[in-house]
Amino acid sequence: MIRSTMIAAAALLAFVGAASAQTRSWKDFPGVSNTSYVDAAGQKALQLAMDIPAPPKSVFEAFATTDGFKSWAVPMAQVDLRTGGMIESSYDPKAKIGDVGNIKNQIVTFIPDQLLVIRNVQAPEGFAGKGEFQKTVTVIEFMSIAEGTRVRLTNTGYGDNTEARTVYGHFEWGNAYTLAELRKKFSKGD
């Protein structure tokens, strides 16, 4: 995921090792809200949010710059912030850009300090549900609030088959973990 999606993972966001959806829950992370839903077409959307004690510009940069992403999400990353650009990352500190085991999320679009939309185009070998995950899109919103920034991760496009449900469960925990890690970064004074 990105330690979830991102960022798959985003998500992003995206990939947390072998997290078991049966034993872990988004509820393991205080402060995460879950407003997931099913859209009019019957597809599930995973939607989690958390308040981060930092301004939107700083939080956006934590996702959308190489140094920012490496400062909290993964040890190896390269961010090419442009429509069509790529966020390439790995949880392996020995990985290098271009390795086949890296996570690659294409940037669909962005609005500086407000929005980042990505979709996974390469998951690590052996990632269960890769095909289903690559049918989804992750929207990361950065909303100014009195205490800093509300970050909302919405991963849309989940179908209703066994593989899609497995991936959904993986990212439900993983995205919550990602948000908690992001909050930790800024709670330490970054």
Over residues 33-40, the mean pLDDT reads 96
pLDDT of residue 190: 56
pLDDT of residue 189: 64
Report the predicted TM-score, pTM, of the whole model to 2 decimal places. 0.86
Residue 113: pLDDT above 80? yes
Q: pLDDT tens, 51-87?
A: 999 999 999 999 999 999 999 999 999 999 999 999 9
pLDDT of residue 127: 87
Closest to 5 (Cα-Cα) out of 113, 157, 184: 157
CATH class of the structural domain 26-187 = alpha beta
Read off the pLDDT band of 125 (50, 70, 90). Answer: confident
State the average pLDDT for the chain: 88
The one-letter code for the residue type at 182 is L
pLDDT of residue 51: 98
Residue 167: count of CB within 10 angstroms of its CB: 29
Q: pLDDT tens, 151-181?
A: 999 999 999 999 999 999 999 999 999 999 9
**Angstrom distances, CA of residue 147 to CA of 50, 52, 143, 150:** 11, 8, 11, 9
pLDDT of residue 94: 96
Q: pLDDT tens, 126-160?
A: 888 889 999 999 999 999 999 999 999 999 999 99
User: 115 has which bridge partners?
Assistant: 111, 141
pLDDT of residue 188: 78
